[in-house]
A = this chain, B = another copy of it.
Amino acid sequence: MSEQRYEKLLAALADNSEKVERALEGFCSETDEDFGIVMDAERYSLLGGGKRIRPFLVNEFCRALGGDIEASMPLACALEMIHTYSLIHDDLPCMDDDDMRRGKPSNHKRFGYANALLAGDALLTRAFEVAASAEKLKPDARVEAVSLLARAAGDRGMIGGQVIDLDSENKSISLEKLLKLHSLKTGALIVCAAKLGCLAAGFGTDSAESRAAEKYAAGIGLAFQAVDDMLDVISSAETLGKNIGSDKDKGKTTFLTFFDIEQTAAYAGRVTESAKTALADIKDSALLGELADYLLQRRS
């Protein structure tokens, strides 16, 4: 598929990335002569990159529902801080033990084990401070945002998924458990992003809009993971920015344990379609529809 097909989306993603980067920089501009190294470690992983898909979801759901992205931006930044913390901790030697992340040394390779651990802790903590300080939102919406973030990131969310993931190395798990793993480890935060965007536009978690956003996000989350599993097999290390074949090396169960490449692609296509169907309840959802297609065809 051509890049032209996604011209508007790519422009919107680039614009969002730039705005998110600036907002994150604003939240991380401080330093201290005695413990500046942990702030440097935070900035190292938080700034300078990525497609910022999760913050885009927050801001784009807000915009699509008639909200102001100035209202959603602190929530987008808070979520990105949590995502970044999870990557730093996932890469640690006691976890996935990854030396590289996004084509550069992982945080602990650059700053040492203790500082990387603390930088992760600090970003997780900061996320809640930032969400609580979302000044364009009323206090009850801020409270709801903190609560959504904590539940998505906590032991019954992302952390639970990580525990299943670690527990599943070098043993086979059922497809059902693999789906649970993904819906928690990556899905919970993606769903949270979509719901935070709704919340910032005035649509609480009980609204039809928020429920539609949840369905959409759960769908693209699963598709994202299925595509990830395929890319781990078929992509090159250069394109991916990390070692390929790492899933198999670690004896991890993936979609490829149950399906071949073609079946996995078909599965990703189906959940993407159902995600797009859920967008019927979202007013100005063209870009979100494009995003679902774009993530399906990505090659890195």
Contact = CB atoms under 8 A, between A and B. Distances in A.
Interface of A: 30, 32, 34-35, 37-39, 42, 89, 92, 94-95, 113-115, 117-118, 120-122, 124-126, 128-129, 131-133, 138-140, 142-144, 146-147, 149-151, 153-156, 159-164, 166-167, 177, 180, 184
Contacts of A151: 129
B143 A117 contact: no
A89 B121 contact: yes
A140 B138 CA distance: 9
Given A139-B140, A139-B143, A126 B154 contact: yes
Given A35-B159, A131-B146, 15 more contacts: A34-B177, A35-B155, A35-B160, A35-B161, A37-B167, A39-B155, A42-B155, A95-B114, A114-B166, A117-B117, A124-B124, A125-B153, A129-B147, A133-B147, A138-B139
The 5 closest A-B pairs by CB, nearest first: A129-B150, A139-B139, A35-B163, A94-B113, A122-B155
Contacts of A154: 122, 125-126, 129
A95 B115 CA distance: 9
Nearest to A154: B125
Given A129-B150, A142-B143, A150-B132, A118 B163 contact: yes
11 contacts: A32-B156, A32-B160, A34-B164, A34-B177, A35-B160, A35-B167, A122-B159, A126-B154, A128-B149, A129-B151, A138-B139
Given A142-B143, A160-B34, A117 B94 contact: yes
A237 B107 CA distance: 37
A125 B159 contact: yes
B142 A126 contact: no
Contacts of A125: 124, 150, 153-155, 159
Nearest to A133: B147
A42 B159 CA distance: 12
A259 to B, nearest CB: 22
Contacts of A95: 114, 117
A250 B19 CA distance: 46
Contacts of A142: 139, 143
A151 B140 CA distance: 20
A73 to B, nearest CB: 17
A71 to B, nearest CB: 15
A132 to B, nearest CB: 4
Contacts of A35: 155, 159-161, 163-164, 167, 184
